[in-house]
Chains A and B, each alone.
Chain A
Amino acid sequence: MASQSTALQHHFENAEQQKDASTIGMWVFLVTEIMFFGGLFLAYMVYRQAYPAAFASASNKTDLWLGAANTTVLICSSLTMALAVHYASIGKKNLIVLFLVLTLLLGGTFLGVKSVEYHDKWVHHEIPGANFECEGCADAQHASLFFACYFGMTGLHATHMIIGIFIILYLIVKARKGDYGPEWHTPVEMFGLYWHFVDIVWIFLFPLLYLIDRSGGLKG
């Protein structure tokens, strides 16, 4: 199996050109992902500038420290992913598997914390719809727009992570067979790009969704 995958395909000049083509293809995909999330970021910007008070008070309903802790978990998973790619490039089979498993566990932890937060929103009727409530919100009617953005953006982000977790499982199976080494580990490296991209989306979601007007300055 490994020898088939490492084989240079006839339409490439050499292994390096083949690798460059994969890298470029992956980045073109990530550019489409930027635009995919970009639409949601745009909707968020338009509504936030239209209803600043509603967004400020609704944002204060999120758990700041749980969000910061979850950001930390995701950054740790980015480090373990970078190390998995590193060990793939120097051909340390057991360490590739170890760091892929750690990435999987940290990704699972992130989703676990996220589900606790979603449950909290459910209990407090903070999900947009007929039963929406926002206790003590400045502009409860438009606060539901904040939560629509919150669930839309974190939901799309979480969907990407769930897809990522299935791909990690596949990579772990392949890595255990010894398919990845210094001469060929393109799938590990390309998945690393995807995983770091998902991390970057969260790096923007955290301040935009959790950190609006935490000091209460807008009210004064």
Chain B
Amino acid sequence: MADHTHHIVPKRVYFAVFTALIVLTWVTAWISTVDLGRMNLVVALSIAVFKASLVVLFFMHIAYATKLTKMIVFSGIYWLILLLFITMEDIWTRGWMGVPGR
């Protein structure tokens, strides 16, 4: 196994990630006040996903982790997507069939 556990991330990586997170927080707060229609939600969630990826990869060291650990993280996110999207597919398509009570 490679020398993963002794990998020391340089401090400048942390400061760069930190700066990006702070800037994006205020960008997302500001851009929410601009009317982009439905795109407001898309932009807000894209920024959130990008910020979360930075935290996972660098603060949580997944960029330097073993394949097995990466696999576990990926499986967690995958199951979350299954939970959210399969349920929402049902909700979104109910109107198509004229289900009673909707």
Chain A residues engaging chain B, CB cutoff 8 angstroms? 15-17, 19-20, 23-24, 27-28, 30-31, 34-35, 38-39, 41-42, 45-46, 49-50, 64-65, 67-68, 71-72, 75-76, 78-79, 81-83, 86, 89-90, 192-193, 196-197, 199-200, 203-204, 206-208, 210-217
Contact = CB atoms under 8 A, between A and B. Distances in A.
Interface residues of B, number: 51
B interface secondary structure, majority: helix
13 contacts: A16-B5, A35-B79, A78-B21, A78-B59, A82-B59, A83-B11, A86-B14, A89-B8, A206-B25, A207-B32, A207-B44, A210-B32, A213-B40
Contacts of A19: 5
Contacts of A23: 5, 65-66, 69
A196 B55 contact: yes
Contact of B84 (A42, A65, A68): A42
A203 B52 contact: yes
A17 B2 CA distance: 11
A194 to B, nearest CB: 10
Nearest to B79: A35
B63 interface: no
